[in-house]
Structure 1
Amino acid sequence: MPPPIVSSPRNPWIVLFCAAALVTIAMGIRQSFGLFLRPIELDLGIGREAFGLAIAVQNLILGLAQPFVGALADRHGAGRVAAAGGLLYALGLVLVSTISGAVGLNLTLGLLVGMSMTGVTFVVAIGAAVRAVPSDKRGLAAGIVTAGGSVGQFLLVPIAQGLIGAFGWRETFLIYAALAATMALLAIGISGRAAPATPLDQPTQSFAEALREAASHSGFWLLNAGFFVCGFHVAFIGTHLPAFLTDKGLDPAIGARALALVGLFNILGSYVFGMSADNWRKKHVLAAIYLGRAVVMALFLAFPVTPLSATIFACAMGFLWLGTVPLTSGLIGQIFGIRYMSTLFGIVFLSHQVGSFFGAWGAGYAYRVTGSYDFAWQASIAVAIIAAALHWPIRDAPMPRLDPAE
């Protein structure tokens, strides 16, 4: 496959701003979906398992499509992909506001929104950002874009809670649809294609060769396994934490505040872990993040659930929330180079979304069967410990074909 012709380079700060803003809106809206569980449950009689299934379908579709969307962004440009994703996102949210049952919820919030998010979240945005900066700043760039998702969570989750209380859940989806449509304009700022191969940059590697190379590397599969766990945690907590806190007798506003605090503290965490990706061995930091998650969840369950404990948990988990993204994407770029980074990260992101499927739906299923979230919490702690162990043996040296500067 011949390499594409690169478009005119853009100001790195413009690319970083637009990439981060895209993720801010896309993930901010996405992280507010857990607040709609109880209103939809009460209004339409849709149970938690059904709502969790819709979010699980959304995550699974996002993952299944991501490798292909990443390949499109590598070849045809991130801007076009993001513009299409933003418009489709807006359409999906409009249609969610019209649903009357579980089938409609799965087709709109699940299928359509899941498809749309492939173009406006981490794979496409981070791929555009890391190509716009020097090689020694790629971890920081990925961290800045990742932090955008947390800014959105901090800002848009409380707004969603207020809008639901003031206008209702249907009207809130319509308002957020208008916000999602603005992503089509932001996409202009990340337009441009991946740079073609040069004599010093993977001179002969084709798309198929890149896939075979990654498939033959054990570290690639270990990263897939670790990111599965990350997805499980994020979907379980993001979807079910508000309902879990309400079950414990806390005010629904505390659940919204907890999700907002997760976003706020992940701004700091994403920045810190993004910088660490440029200074420390990424696999060791990843292992520490997963181990830290296990400790935080275990301590949360060991004490009575109160507004204070929920706040402390949200702050601690928020710091560890998406620090895995710049580190995981950074390892992929470090080991395999950036020419096909969006494609390879898209494959790893698929594993993340499979984990998200089980985190969102599985927790709802466990709740229906057992009447509590105890099993879901225990499973989250166990897989966190496993993920910490899996990252340690990753071979993180660049492939021999790469230029040292890569």
Structure 2
Amino acid sequence: MNLSPRRGWGLVTTTGILTGFGHGFAAFAVSALLKPIAVDLDTGRGAVSTAIGLGRLASGVISPVVGRLTDLSGARPVVAMGMILTAVGLVTLGMVRTETGLNLAWSLLVSVGVAAGFTVALDKIVVGAVPERRGMALAIRFSVAAVVSTLLVPLVTILVETIGWRQTCFVWAAIVLALLPVPLLMFGAERTDPHPTPRPHRVPDAGGVLDVLGRPVFWLIAFSFMAQAAVVTGLSVHLVALMTDNGLAAPLAGTIFGAMILLSIPVRLLAGQIADRAPIAILPLFLAGLLLFEAAAIASFALFPSFVTMLVIVVALGIGAGAPTIVVLLLCAHLFGESRFATVQGSLMFFQVPGTMGAPILAGLAYDRLGDYRAATAFFAATLILAAVSMALVRPGRPT
């Protein structure tokens, strides 16, 4: 894609807005639907949570396919089909009457549609839109998405309380369809011819997923990325409960949780600046250092549980939610080439699934057995240390 700087940054902002409306609804605003769905279907919150968990599984499984299709055919058809599938899924969700229908609507339609329309394909657009400042472009994309997602939660909550959860699903399906002209008009129809990577690696820019999976460096990055995402997910799910267990009122705990999301925005922007300016060989060590900092922050609560160490965990999670993804995506573009970027990212998202599904369960089981979260936080800290070691072993190689 040969784009003017103004058009390139416009695409970056647009992808962030789209992700906020699509992925933000599925990942964050769905919390406003959990209780009313359980009451309406006369089932437990565990059943609704299971449907959400199955949706994460479906997203991870489909992500490599989405990535490969994006690399082969371009982002526009993939994003458009994903948005249509998301809207169909939301309409179906609004009409379900059983747990089986809930599982099918959420995991097979909404979650797969969101994975196709609002994640990997849009990241691929950003990598090609501003090739000389990819780090900052990704940082702005994720920051815009975070702002939109944060504003989305109270809006969806008001809709649910005013018109009910079923009608809210119909309204959001209409909003997603109303946004459909954006990718159809703004994204190129052709398969994107990639820019040369600014600092190219000697690995040829060809081949598919089997070639990627055959490289040890991919597995080092995949393990680090999975471990870091698992820890952030596991702690985020239980963070409010952890804080209220240690004496904080629920409104204050929720406010601190929201501050964590906002903290990730300046962290992303700073990480984008550093990633653009630093030599590519420094990035694995930079990320390893961040993971070690997160590990030390989380371990501080395991050793000395207090209000102060709870705040330290919040800061660590804000950093963990903001910086690592940008560094990993830049490394992937450098190591594997832009023409395989979406394939690699989709594969990474697939390998995240065991961690992001298992970590919240592990933390919950540890609490049920031991009565607190100290053991879980200690385990998460140890996991991050292993992730830091794995990332430190990554060698991007010298530019050709």
Provide the TM-score with structure 2 as the length reference: 0.82
Distance 1:376-1:167 versus aligned 2 partners, 3 A rule = farther
Q: Counterpart in 1 of 2:141?
A: 145
Distance 1:375-1:204 versus aligned 2 partners, 3 A rule = closer
Distance 1:176-1:239 versus aligned 2 partners, 3 A rule = farther
CA offsets, 1:124-155, max 9 Å, x none? 11111111223x31222222222233223322
CA offsets, 1:187-245, max 9 Å, x none? 232334220799x99999685x3445433322110111112123313433454444555
1:300 and 1:164 map into 2 onto residues whose CA distance is: 37
Unaligned runs of 5+ in 2: none
1:229 and 1:168 map into 2 onto residues whose CA distance is: 38
Q: Counterpart in 1 of 2:65?
A: 68
Q: Counterpart in 2 of 1:3?
A: none
Q: How far 1:117 sits from its partner (Å)?
A: 1.6
| 1:231 aligned to which of 229, 238, 249 | 229
2:306 and 2:353 map into 1 onto residues whose CA distance is: 31
Preserved contact between residue 67 and residue 345 of structure 1 (Cα < 8 Å): yes
Distance 1:275-1:238 versus aligned 2 partners, 3 A rule = same
Preserved contact between residue 154 and residue 261 of structure 1 (Cα < 8 Å): no
Distance 1:157-1:282 versus aligned 2 partners, 3 A rule = farther
Q: Counterpart in 1 of 2:296?
A: 295
Preserved contact between residue 205 and residue 339 of structure 2 (Cα < 8 Å): no
The one-letter amino acid of 2:50's match is: L
Q: How far 1:34 sits from its partner (Å)?
A: 3.8
CA RMSD of aligned residues (A): 3.5
Q: Equivalent residues in 2 for 1:199-214 (5 A)?
A: 209-214=207-212
Q: How far 1:366 sits from its partner (Å)?
A: 5.7
CA offsets, 1:239-275, max 9 Å, x none? 4444555666766555553443232221112111122
Q: Counterpart in 2 of 1:327?
A: 327
2:338 and 2:306 map into 1 onto residues whose CA distance is: 47
Q: Does 1:117 align with 2:114?
A: yes
Preserved contact between residue 87 and residue 177 of structure 2 (Cα < 8 Å): yes
2:84 and 2:102 map into 1 onto residues whose CA distance is: 19
1:92 and 1:372 map into 2 onto residues whose CA distance is: 38
1:217 and 1:339 map into 2 onto residues whose CA distance is: 17
SS of the residue corresponding to residue 120 of structure 1 reads helix
SS of the residue corresponding to residue 390 of structure 2 reads helix
Unaligned runs of 5+ in 1: 1-5
Distance 1:183-1:222 versus aligned 2 partners, 3 A rule = farther
Distance 1:205-1:316 versus aligned 2 partners, 3 A rule = closer
The one-letter amino acid of 1:336's match is: F
1:233 and 1:215 map into 2 onto residues whose CA distance is: 24
1:271 and 1:315 map into 2 onto residues whose CA distance is: 16
| 1:23 aligned to which of 15, 19, 24 | 19
Q: Equivalent residues in 2 for 1:1-400 (5 A)?
A: 9=3, 11-29=7-25, 30-41=27-38, 44=41, 46-47=43-44, 49-134=46-131, 136-188=132-184, 189-192=186-189, 193-195=191-193, 209-242=207-240, 253-254=251-252, 256-280=254-278, 281-299=282-300, 302-304=304-306, 313-363=313-363, 376-397=376-397
Preserved contact between residue 235 and residue 356 of structure 1 (Cα < 8 Å): yes
Q: How far 1:71 sits from its partner (Å)?
A: 1.3
SS of the residue corresponding to residue 278 of structure 1 reads helix
Preserved contact between residue 13 and residue 144 of structure 2 (Cα < 8 Å): no
1:202 and 1:119 map into 2 onto residues whose CA distance is: 28
Preserved contact between residue 295 and residue 381 of structure 2 (Cα < 8 Å): yes
Provide the TM-score with structure 1 as the length reference: 0.81
Distance 1:131-1:41 versus aligned 2 partners, 3 A rule = same
Preserved contact between residue 232 and residue 320 of structure 2 (Cα < 8 Å): no
Preserved contact between residue 26 and residue 149 of structure 1 (Cα < 8 Å): no
Considering fraction of residues, name the structure with more helix. Answer: 2
Q: Percent identity?
A: 26
Distance 1:182-1:48 versus aligned 2 partners, 3 A rule = same
Aligned length: 389
